[in-house]
A and B are shown apart, each in its own frame.
Chain A
Amino acid sequence: MGINHFFTSKMSDALGWARKYSIFQYPFVTACCGMEYMSTAAAHYDVDRFGAGFPRFSPRQSDVLFVVGTISQKMAPVLKMVYDQMCEPKWVVAFGVCTCTGGFYDNYSTVMGIDTIIPVDIYIPGCPPRPENVLDGLMKLQEKIQKGEQSRTLYDPKTKKGRPAQLGNTP
């Protein structure tokens, strides 16, 4: 291990540290989970303690896409477009069980998990998840950002691969 390797690894550590404490998030809020999101963001739970208190309503300026609430088939192309417009490096948080797996929906209108459309880094299940859950997910995301990890794979309903086992087998 030479001095150059030592320097670049320290450099990426510093970058990860800077990134994880300055998360600019894009809240893609579509449903009731939005209430819990607001509660997390407001003074009582105060997401700003983690450096993530600054929602940018432009995908071009944000690092983390918070998908909060049920995504319908009609909304899916919009979500995909917002994701595509974000600059690298970018991360995605699935907030609430509807975004994780489709939740209790099994019908004509609902996307069965946003990981069939875009890669998801952190799943926060719950209907809705409590703010403590959300903060836990946020800290796990920070760990991931520190390590420089990003999810690149989609869930395949046929092979049932690409989704954490804890979420169970869903269609």
Chain B
Amino acid sequence: MTPLQTIQQHFEARLIETHDFRGDETVVIAGGLLTEMALFLKKTPELDFNYLMDLTAVDYLFFAGGRIEKRARFEVVYHFFSLKHNHRLRLKVPVEEQNPEIDSLTGLWASANWFEREVWDMFGIRFKGHPDLKRILMYEEFQGHALRKDYPFNKRQPLIGL
């Protein structure tokens, strides 16, 4: 059984969407299910996702010129890997523009700490339960979030100089 099938069997209709392209498996879930899903991915012996490889976000504002309607403005994307079983999973969680907040996974994977700080820095998505949610790449004086699509691409906020 592939990881996706195991997850489908356990969560059934609570998944928003699943997708499998030549073994690249993707699951889309709501933010409320994230903590339960993360625990399931880590603690289930036949899944055993002990490595959070990447955590990033996408801003779908103006996506495809507005032709494609997305569920929410942001999507947080997780990439998991199991060193034991050598399999992978991509997990996507839509996040609303009004209150961009999602549970932190720092308690389960230590690598989530800096990734979540980067997503906060660049996209302004808050992570509930993060031990030290502050900017990681930009300076504290920086206003706004640089990788949001409505941030002007050439707007500059110099610390010194012009």
Give the interface of A toward B (CB within 8 A): 73-74, 76-77, 80, 106-109, 111-112, 116-117, 154-158, 171
Total number of B residues with any Cβ neighbor in A under 8 Å = 15
Given A73-B139, A74-B138, A74-B139, answer yes or no on A111-B158 (Cβ-Cβ < 8 Å): yes
Report the Cα distance A171→B154, complex, angstroms.
10
Residues of B near A106 (CB, < 8 A) are: 153-154
Report the Cα distance A171→B137, complex, angstroms.
24
Contact B153 A73 (CB under 8 A): no
Report the Cα distance A158→B161, complex, angstroms.
13
Contact B160 A157 (CB under 8 A): no
Given A108-B146, A109-B146, answer yes or no on A77-B159 (Cβ-Cβ < 8 Å): yes
Report the Cα distance A160→B97, complex, angstroms.
40
- Pick from A74, A111, A171: contact of B161, CB below 8 A: A111
Report the Cα distance A111→B157, complex, angstroms.
10
Contact A73 B157 (CB under 8 A): yes
Report the Cα distance A55→B151, complex, angstroms.
41
Chain A at the B interface: SS class = loop
Report the Cα distance A90→B60, complex, angstroms.
50
Residue B162, interface by CB 8 Å: yes
Report the Cα distance A73→B158, complex, angstroms.
6
Closest to A171 in B: B154
Residue B67, interface by CB 8 Å: no
Given A73-B139, A74-B139, answer yes or no on A108-B159 (Cβ-Cβ < 8 Å): no
Q: How far is the CB of B148 from chain A (nearest CB, A)?
A: 11
Report the Cα distance A107→B155, complex, angstroms.
7
Residues of A near B22 (CB, < 8 A) are: none
Contact B162 A108 (CB under 8 A): no
Residue from B156, B157, B158 whose CB has the most chain A CB atoms within 10 Å: B156
Closest to A155 in B: B162
Residues of A near B155 (CB, < 8 A) are: 108
Q: How far is the CB of B49 from chain A (nearest CB, A)?
A: 33
Closest to B139 in A: A74
Residues of B near A117 (CB, < 8 A) are: 160-161
